[in-house]
Amino acid sequence: MSYIKNPSSIEKRSFQIIKSEIRDQYPDYQFQSEMEESIIKRCIHTTGDFDYLKTLEFHQDAIESILSVFQEKGTILFDSPISLNGINKRVLDKMGVTYVCLVPQGCGLKSGKTRAQQAIDLAKEIAGPKLFAFGESTEGLTYLLENMNAGELDAAAILALPVGFQDVLEVKEAVRQSSLPSIVNAGYKGGATLVVAVLNAILYQTGQVETEDYVRYSTKQNQE
């Protein structure tokens, strides 16, 4: 067996295989836009799962709303340090976009609220347009929606990608039924790494990331 040592060659070959599989297994499949194609293929590349062709949903001009958060130098709020660690911070810094993990450090329960609820309360103190990127906490996402319905918190867009079983289907459906710009994955699948895949795919398509730099960054993150 010959080994491919150049990361960019591995990346290129991987996407060639993905393209070939889609062509052979889903010959009638049509992507709605170049951006959606990039996101879905990146999710497949990250997970090895072609179900994302059918389950990843884009609602209420979600991509345009996410791009607006970037353009307006807003804030991305994560529910997992895994997602925070995986995004291309160099490019976000260049764009002037702030990013923070909402998990409170050393947060107790004196307020009578759970850690997830207290994390959402922290978001109320952050000014400017906000993108909530959730891949783990269904409770946090539920509490976020409650606060938004009560008019206590605004979101420019939501990545509703939690993985799991408890209340996962219900909270994803609640996001679907709202008027919020959102990217939702139907079913039980999702996760922090899926959040990374979606955001990095969008950043790549903005033209802020050169191909070689993107591959180097992705490889570095996979090694850490």
pLDDT, tens only, 29-74: 999 999 999 999 999 999 999 999 999 999 999 999 999 999 999 9
Q: What is the mean pLDDT of residues 154-168?
A: 96
What is the reported pLDDT for 104?
60
What is the reported pLDDT for 1?
60
What does the alpha-carbon distance between residue 202 and residue 102 come to, in Å, rounded to a whole number?
A: 22
Q: Which parts of the chain fold into alpha helices (H)?
A: 7-25, 34-47, 52-55, 62-71, 81-86, 89-95, 115-123, 138-149, 168-177, 192-205, 211-223
* Catalytic residue chosen out of the listed positions 41, 45, 172, 189: 45
55-218: CATH homologous superfamily? Cobalamin biosynthesis CobH/CbiC, precorrin-8X methylmutase (3.40.50.10230)
Per-residue pLDDT reduced to its tens digit, 165-206: 999 999 999 999 998 999 999 999 999 999 999 999 999 988
Per the annotation, the verdict on 45 as an active-site residue is yes
Handedness of CA 56, 59, 61, 63 (dihedral sign): negative
Given a cut of 90, whether residue 119 has pLDDT beyond it is no
What is the reported pLDDT for 46?
94
φ, ψ at 48 (rounded to 5°): 70, 20
pTM, whole model, 2 decimals?
Answer: 0.88
